[in-house]
Amino acid sequence: MILADENNIDDNVDIQISECLNPNNPKSFFLFAGAGSGKTRSLVKALTEFKKNHGNNFILNNQKIAIITYTNAAADEIKQRLKFDPIFYVSTIHSYAWELIQLFTSDIKSYVKARLLKDIEDLELAQSKARSLQNKSSIDRARKIKSKTKRLENLPNVTRFTYNPNGDNFKKDSLNHSEVIGITADFIANESLMQDIVAARFPIILVDESQDTKKELIDALFTLQKAKKGVFSLGLFGDTMQRIYADGKPNLGESLPSDWVFPTKKMNHRSNKRIIKLINDIRQEVDDQKQQPRKEKPEGIVRLFIADRASDKIVTENIVAKKMFTLTTDKSWTEPDEVKTLILEHHMAAIRMGFIGLFEPLYKVDRLKTSLIDGSLSTLNLFKNTILPLIEAHKSGDKFSVMRIVKANSFLFDKNVIVNSQDQLKHLSEINDNVSKLLALWADNSDPYLKDILQVIFETKLFPLPNIFKVISSRTKKEESAFESSEDEEELNDDAIDAWDVALNAKFSEVSKYDEYLKEESKFATHQGVKGLEFPRVVVIIDDEEARGFMFSYDKLFGTKGPSASDLKNEAEGNDTGIDRTRRLFYVACSRAEEGLAVIAYTDNPSLIKRNAIANGWFNETEIEVL
Ligand SMILES: Nc1ncnc2c1ncn2[C@@H]1O[C@H](COP(=O)(O)OP(=O)(O)OP(=O)(O)O)[C@@H](O)[C@H]1O
């Protein structure tokens, strides 16, 4: 029989938090606890309790509790768990920051103006010292000076700033992400009026994943808390061991005032016993937090598979799935939808899922990255949001939907175009011919190239083309000048044209695979992207070479590569090193597993990885297999 209290030793934490959230005697708190300890659950529980006790007063006073999450997905999850109650304002940090500042146009203007003047001054100083004005950095600098000056000149014309927290902000009157965070932090930290407004509207602010929340904003919230102690409470949830982004505040929680409450948790409710032992062992170099499993949890399984760097990844990963099935007798290990495979970088999923031809060239362009990853890249929308559903409808023989999609997206169906056409019947029959021409590209199960699809659309004018595609399709001077006068900065970027020139050589099937990846229907996710989530079966892929990143190095963590000079310098100065960062990322990735975990390490030195994994105490010999 399971003793109820063995699993519930942390329940007092929920009571402590509820006591802090008392509007008559607000206290601030810092709940830092390991993976799977139920922080999110405690957050929801405390808020539900709050609603019961103080909800009506909050409604009467038009006040809300702000809950800041790291991702939109986490915000949606918490909103749902709080039953969409309007006294809770649940959002990401960017949306919340924008909510606070968006009406302060003239203050934002002054801030942006001061920043632009300073940036231009710095750039001009650097330019005056440049040895040549013809090298790449000088040319880039000149371009930056020009664009910042243009923005400065345009500032007086801005009547209201715009900002999209979930995308790229290219318009003349837009603010970018770091500006919105910087402005909000500055206003909260330095403007007493802003402090009054925030504390009156949101007497409680709770921050989930606070170890990764932008440090300037966390610092501003600390200032606010100090200034408004008697009427405001700040609650931080998080885990220092799960800090994986560079902009989080290091050593968060150290030297906080003594009137803060510091609840702690010992349990891990998520994972089976062996997985908890592994994450405790990974953690032990950093702090002495050791979690304990729930009593009823089975042992579970962890395995380290070591494969040669040059081996075929897809074949290797299939072999591992079969081996895990044999070891556990759990058939789900061989079913793609039942296993979450964690890769380091999105392109590793693109390779495995077969959309690298489309993805890679676009991902190389810095300013396209965010929108490519979140699916909002406007140029790609033509293929993803119009052609993809069109072809899916066509393939399933749904003629009605085909015409509906064409009607909804084509200018040719515009009322004025039809009314103004000399012969309306002829016009409609031409549209039909054009649609047939497009669909013919998929005849006999063909998989056309994106550039061929584009060409048909360009010739038939079936769908409006983003300027960048007009340029590529026509390549005439006339079109290029139309393009140059475009206001859309994404499209003003030459790099983007070059990238699309390459990406258009991909086949259309890549668009549907990319779409599948975006919809999270895929079995892949990144080590970073799964923060806060959990899955029964997890495969963690480790391959620095394929990841091509510089922030993390599993080779260093596993000791097959020595620390760099800057690692040694950082270590000597007590700063974060690449190894520290990677250890934390490894902790996040491994701690997502509930029942079983397979780590696959691709390496040039299998025996050294094996030796070090045993020496670290992470895996024992019987849990490691060199493939
Ligand atoms: N007191 C509890 N009793 C039973 N199950 C719990 C309890 N607390 C949490 N859980 C379960 O444990 C899992 C992990 O909880 P939760 O996601 O809240 O942890 P977390 O601390 O936010 O994790 P992480 O830091 O890894 O994101 C969830 O499935 C949750 O339902």
User: How would DSSP label each residue in 199-221?
Assistant: HHH-SEEEETTGGGSBHHHHHHH
Q: Is 293 in the pocket of ligand 1 (CB under 6 A)?
A: no
Q: What number does the ligand 1 atom closest to the CA of 239 have? A: 25
Q: How far is the CA of 69 from the centre of ligand 1 (A)?
A: 16
Q: Is 40 in the pocket of ligand 1 (CB under 6 A)?
A: yes
Among 17, 207, 266, 269, say which to mutate for ligand 1: greatest number of ligand atoms within 8 Å of CB: 269
Cα separation of 180 and 161, whole Å?
11
Over residues 71-99, mean pLDDT: 90
Q: Is 269 in the pocket of ligand 1 (CB under 6 A)?
A: yes
The pLDDT of residue 1? 45
- The CA-atom distances, in angstroms, between 236 and each of 68, 207, 210, 533 are 10, 5, 6, 19
Q: How far is the CA of 283 from the centre of ligand 1 (A)?
A: 18
Q: Is the pLDDT of residue 3 over 50?
A: no
Does 39 carry a binding-site annotation? yes
pTM of the model: 0.81
Cβ neighbours of residue 507 closer than 8 Å, sequence gap 6 or more: 357, 447, 448, 449, 450
DSSP state of 387: I
Q: How far is the CA of 41 from the centre of ligand 1 (A)?
A: 6
Q: Is 35 in the pocket of ligand 1 (CB under 6 A)?
A: yes
Does 354 carry a binding-site annotation? no
Does 349 carry a binding-site annotation? no
Q: Is the pLDDT of residue 329 over 80?
A: yes
Does 596 carry a binding-site annotation? no
Does 481 carry a binding-site annotation? no
Q: Is 532 in the pocket of ligand 1 (CB under 6 A)?
A: yes
Q: Is the pLDDT of residue 549 over 80?
A: no
- The CA-atom distances, in angstroms, between 358 and each of 187, 353, 502, 513 are 42, 12, 8, 10
Q: For residue 66, give both structure tokens.
A: 């702000």
Q: Is 265 in the pocket of ligand 1 (CB under 6 A)?
A: no
The pLDDT tens digits for 600-616 are: 999 888 888 899 989 98
Q: Is 585 in the pocket of ligand 1 (CB under 6 A)?
A: no
The pLDDT tens digits for 197-234 are: 999 999 999 999 888 888 899 999 999 999 999 899 99
The pLDDT of residue 547? 63
Cα separation of 80 and 77, whole Å?
5
**pLDDT band (50, 70, 90) for residue 480:** very low
Cα separation of 171 and 162, whole Å?
8
Q: What number does the ligand 1 atom closest to the CA of 41 have? A: 18
Q: For residue 462, give both structure tokens.
A: 């079936």
What own/partner pairs with CB < 8 Å and gap ≥ 24 does 157-166 have? 158/105, 158/109, 159/105, 160/105, 161/102, 161/105, 161/108, 163/98, 163/102, 165/92, 165/94, 165/95, 165/98, 166/72, 166/94, 166/374, 166/376
Supply the mean pLDDT for the chain: 86
Q: How far is the CA of 269 from the centre of ligand 1 (A)?
A: 6
Q: Are 303 and 613 in contact (CB under 8 A)?
A: no
SS3 of 541-556: the string is EECHHHHCCCCCCHHH
Q: Best-predicted range by mean pLDDT among 469-473, 480-484, 488-492? A: 469-473
Among 270, 271, 340, 533, say which to mutate for ligand 1: greatest number of ligand atoms within 8 Å of CB: 270
Sheet holding 88-92, edge to edge: 29-32, 233-238, 204-207, 65-69, 88-92
Cα separation of 224 and 190, whole Å?
9
Cα separation of 619 and 281, whole Å?
9
Q: Is the pLDDT of residue 481 over 60?
A: no
Cα separation of 196 and 192, whole Å?
6
Higher pLDDT, 156 or 255: 156
Q: How far is the CA of 535 from the centre of ligand 1 (A)?
A: 12
The pLDDT tens digits for 385-407 are: 889 999 999 998 888 899 888 88
Maximal C-alpha separation, the chain: 84
Cβ neighbours of residue 499 closer than 8 Å, sequence gap 6 or more: 361, 362, 364, 365, 368
DSSP state of 162: B
Beta strands, E only, 337-475: 339-343
Neighbours of 166 (CB within 10 A): 14
Q: Is the pLDDT of residue 413 over 80?
A: no
Cα separation of 213 and 209, whole Å?
7
Neighbours of 69 (CB within 10 A): 27
Q: Is 239 in the pocket of ligand 1 (CB under 6 A)?
A: yes
> Is the CA virtual torsion 408, 413, 414, 419 positive or negative?
negative
**pLDDT band (50, 70, 90) for residue 16:** very high
Over residues 61-81, mean pLDDT: 89
What is the percentage of the chain residues whose pLDDT exceeds 90? 44
Q: What number does the ligand 1 atom closest to the CA of 592 have? A: 26
Does 429 carry a binding-site annotation? no
E strand or H helix at 363, and its extent? helix 356-363
Cβ neighbours of residue 327 closer than 8 Å, sequence gap 6 or more: 301, 303
User: Which amino acid makes up residue 201?
Assistant: R
Q: For residue 251, give both structure tokens.
A: 């050593």
Rounded to the nearest angstrom, the gap between the alpha carbon of residue 359 and the centroid of all alpha carbons in its chain is 17
Cα separation of 230 and 259, whole Å?
12
Q: How far is the CA of 267 from the centre of ligand 1 (A)?
A: 9
The pLDDT of residue 595? 95
Cα separation of 34 and 391, whole Å?
47
**What does R_g of the chain's alpha carbons equal in angstroms?**
27
Q: Is the pLDDT of residue 136 over 90?
A: no
Q: Is 82 in the pocket of ligand 1 (CB under 6 A)?
A: no
Over residues 88-93, mean pLDDT: 93
Lowest-confidence segment of 38-52, 69-83, 150-164, 544-558 by average pLDDT: 544-558
Q: Give the residue whose CA is nearest to atom 29 of ligand 1.
A: 270
Q: Is the pLDDT of residue 488 over 60?
A: no
Cβ neighbours of residue 286 closer than 8 Å, sequence gap 6 or more: 240, 241, 580, 583, 584
Q: Is 37 in the pocket of ligand 1 (CB under 6 A)?
A: yes
Q: Is 238 in the pocket of ligand 1 (CB under 6 A)?
A: no
Q: Is 211 in the pocket of ligand 1 (CB under 6 A)?
A: no
The pLDDT of residue 526? 79
Q: Give the residue whose CA is nearest to atom 24 of ligand 1.
A: 35
Q: Give the residue whose CA is nearest to atom 16 of ligand 1.
A: 38
Burial 503-531 (b: 16+ CB within 10 A, else e): bbebbbebbbbbbbbeeeebbbbbbbbbb
Among 5, 31, 41, 67, say which to mutate for ligand 1: greatest number of ligand atoms within 8 Å of CB: 41
Does 91 carry a binding-site annotation? no
Q: How far is the CA of 270 from the centre of ligand 1 (A)?
A: 6
Q: Give the residue whose CA is nearest to atom 9 of ligand 1.
A: 38
Cα separation of 331 and 347, whole Å?
28
